[in-house]
């Protein structure tokens, strides 16, 4: 999942450089735009500090436009369960059960305060399910894992399946936690959390919220592996370990192999201190332990179906998801994601024969892309720099 991200910071206010649902967007090529971790840390810290000043204003939700039936997806007991210390596991199981498809599969995303502002990434994420081709039904299988109280309350207000993932010993009320032990602990908390989901017998699609869903991805998953992951760049062979994985989107089936793999991944943080989970995955993917001892084959998803601003899914007749990866700056990200959704709407409005014979392509990235790493400036108070 996330790598560099400022994701979890300060209620995750920094989807920015790092990205939003994580920092899943940097592919190795983009890294040269930074002069290293220090610069990145300073940049992020600055952005985080600034973005934390942004005021939260409750907004209209996309669900106001939806039929009443969507409201039945709400998780009524969330408050009760989630606020009871020591009862988290029970709560989680109930949320998962409620959200799961008949084969015990759920869709999981994480949410933090930064992503719930009006006109936010999370609104766009939900919007994509509404305008995607037959994707609305997937929302009732979505579990929103809230990383802070505001995000949790927001989720409950939207009548989604919500779970509050608390991290003991880490106080997220301030912004000073980026790259501290507490911050990294939180990042890794997700990997540990997803292992728990697998241990409870649930399969999941993990998706960052800056990934737009346009088509049902399930028909495009491989049936012969229990762990598959999207890519910043895809080399043409799903088994090629040199593919650059992006932890923002993966499909994992519950099995002894995947449970062991998540334990191994989590433990590997000790071998690579001060690295995020995606960076560590990029190292351990070559470890023969995974294939030979655990018996798991990692497979990589084709960007034709699961694309992003690093490598767009150019054929709109085929695209399932598009990730705002390779993008610095929350405002840049929102700007381009809005255009992305507009492109999709235009595509849908074309007559079927035009869609088939001359499908249009995306008009993004514009603000995103490698250049965004050079010209990015942190957003101003009250979102003044928003486009
Ligand atoms: C909370 O939920 C549990 C089980 O879901 C139930 O047994 C308990 O009575 C509830 N507590 C409150 C205070 O509602
Ligand atoms: C949407 O899905 C339906 C059913 O699978 C299909 O017939 C239709 O062509 C799809 N439309 C687009 C734009 O992909
Ligand atoms: C793990 O393996 C045991 C037997 O070795 C089996 O009974 C169990 O169902 C497996 N669990 C999963 C989640 O596949």
CATH number, domain containing residue 268: 3.90.550.10
Residue 248 pLDDT level (bands cut at 50, 70, 90)? very high
Whole-number Å distance between alpha carbons of 252 and 186: 21
Hey, which of 134, 219, 316 would you mutate to test ligand 2's pocket, going by the most ligand atoms within 8 Å of its Cβ?
134
Q: Is the pLDDT of residue 4 over 50?
A: no
Which residue, judged by its Cα, is nearest atom 13 of ligand 1? 80
Tell me the residue ranges of DSSP E strands in 36-95: none
- Inform me whether the pLDDT recorded for 1 exceeds 90: no
10 Å Cβ neighbour count for 326? Answer: 26
Contact 204, 71 (CB under 8 A): no
Rounded Cα distance, 149 and 205, in Å: 24
Contact 276, 314 (CB under 8 A): no
What average pLDDT does the chain have? 78
Task: State the Cα–Cα distance between residues 206 and 191, nearest whole angstrom.
Answer: 11
Indicate which atom in ligand 2 lies nearest the CA of residue 215.
14
Q: Which atom of ligand 2 is nearest to the CA of 133?
A: 1
Q: Is 216 in the pocket of ligand 2 (CB under 6 A)?
A: no
| Ligand 3 pocket mutation pick from 204, 256, 261, 296 by most atoms within 8 angstroms of CB | 256
Ligand closest to 201 (CA) is 3
Range of the domain at 239: 1-387
* Mean pLDDT, residues 282-290 taken together: 96
Residues 3 and 23: their CA atoms lie apart, in Å, by: 5
Q: Is 77 a pocket residue for ligand 1 (Cβ < 6 Å)?
A: yes
Instruction: Give the atom of ligand 2 at the shortest distance from the alpha carbon of 348.
Output: 13
- Ligand 3 shell residues, CB under 6 Å: 254-256
Digit-coded pLDDT (tens) for 34-82: 445 555 555 555 554 444 343 333 333 333 333 322 322 333 334 444 4
Residue with tokens 């869709």: 107
Give nearest CA residue, ligand 1 atom 10.
Answer: 80
- At 242, list the tokens: 């040199």
- DSSP code per residue over 173-191: SSSTTTTSHHHHHHHHHHH
Q: Which position has the token pair 């400022």?
A: 6
Residue nearest ligand 3's atom 11 by CA: 256
Instruction: State the total domains in the chain.
Output: 1
Find, among 166, 194, 266, 251, the residue nearest to 217 by Cα: 251
Going from the Cα of 223 to the center of ligand 3, the distance in angstroms, rounded, reads: 19
Tokens of 187: 């990042």
Quote the pLDDT of residue 42.
Answer: 52
Q: Between 168 and 28, name the one with better pLDDT.
A: 168
Residue 290 has pLDDT above 50, yes or no: yes
Ligand nearest to the CA of 79: 1
Q: Helices 330-349 and 121-131, interaxial angle, to 10°?
A: 10
Look at residue 185 in the predicted model and tell me its pLDDT.
Answer: 75
User: Tell me, what DSSP letter sits at residue 346?
Assistant: H
CA 190 – CA 184 distance, rounded (Å): 10
Coil, helix or strand at residue 199 = helix
Question: For the residues 135-149, what does the mean pLDDT come to?
Answer: 94
Which residue carries 């943080």 as its tokens?
Answer: 269
Q: Could you tell me if the CB of 80 is within 6 A of ligand 1?
A: yes
Mean pLDDT of 333-361: 96
Q: Is the predicted pLDDT of residue 124 greater than 50, yes or no?
A: yes
Q: Nearest residue CA, atom 5 of ligand 3?
A: 256
What gap in Å lies between CA 212 and CA 368, rounded to an integer?
Answer: 15
The kind and range of the H/E element at 249 are strand 244-252
Q: Say which ligand is closest to the CA of 131.
A: 2
Quote the pTM value: 0.75
- DSSP state letter for 316: T
- Give the number of whichever ligand sits closest to the CA of residue 87: 1
Measured in Å, residue 278 CA sits from the centre of ligand 2 at: 34
């Amino acid at each position: 999942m996330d790598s560099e991200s400022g994701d979890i910071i300060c209620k995750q206010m920094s989807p920015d450089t790092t990205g939003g649902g994580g920092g899943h967007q940097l592919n190795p090529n983009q890294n040269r735009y930074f002069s290293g971790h220090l610069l990145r840390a300073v940049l992020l810290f600055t952005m985080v500090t600034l973005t934390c000043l942004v005021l939260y204003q409750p907004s209209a939700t996309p669900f106001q436009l939806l039929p009443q039936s969507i409201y039945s997806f709400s998780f009524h007991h969330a408050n009760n369960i989630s606020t009871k210390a020591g009862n988290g596991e029970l709560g989680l199981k109930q949320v998962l059960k409620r959200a799961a498809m008949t084969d015990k599969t759920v869709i999981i995303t994480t949410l933090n305060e930064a992503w719930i502002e009006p006109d936010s990434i999370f609104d766009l994420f939900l919007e994509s399910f509404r305008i995607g081709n037959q994707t609305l039904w997937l929302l009732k299988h979505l579990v929103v894992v809230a990383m802070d109280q505001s995000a949790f309350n927001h989720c409950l207000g939207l009548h989604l399946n919500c779970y509050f993932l608390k991290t003991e010993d880490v106080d997220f009320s301030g912004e000073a936690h980026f790259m501290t032990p507490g911050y990294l602990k939180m990042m890794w908390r997700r990997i540990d959390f997803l292992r728990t989901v697998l241990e409870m017998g649930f399969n999941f699609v993990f998706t960052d919220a800056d990934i737009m869903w346009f088509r049902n991805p399930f028909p495009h998953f491989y049936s012969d592996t229990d762990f598959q992951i999207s890519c910043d760049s895809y080399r043409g062979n799903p088994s090629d370990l040199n593919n650059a994985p992006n932890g923002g989107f993966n499909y994992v089936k519950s099995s002894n192999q995947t449970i062991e793999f998540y334990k191994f991944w989590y433990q590997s943080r000790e071998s690579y201190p001060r690295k995020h989970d995606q960076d560590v995955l990029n190292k351990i993917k070559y470890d023969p332990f995974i294939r030979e001892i655990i018996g798991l084959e990692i497979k990589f998803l084709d960007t034709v179906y699961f694309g992003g601003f690093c490598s767009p899914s150019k054929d709109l007749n085929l695209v399932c998801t598009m990730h705002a990866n390779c993008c610095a700056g929350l405002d840049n990200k929102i700007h381009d994601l809005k255009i992305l959704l507009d492109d999709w709407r235009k595509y849908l409005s074309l007559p079927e024969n035009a869609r088939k014979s001359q499908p249009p392509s995306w008009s993004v990235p514009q603000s995103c892309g490698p250049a965004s790493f050079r010209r990015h400036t942190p957003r101003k108070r009250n979102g003044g720099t928003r486009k």
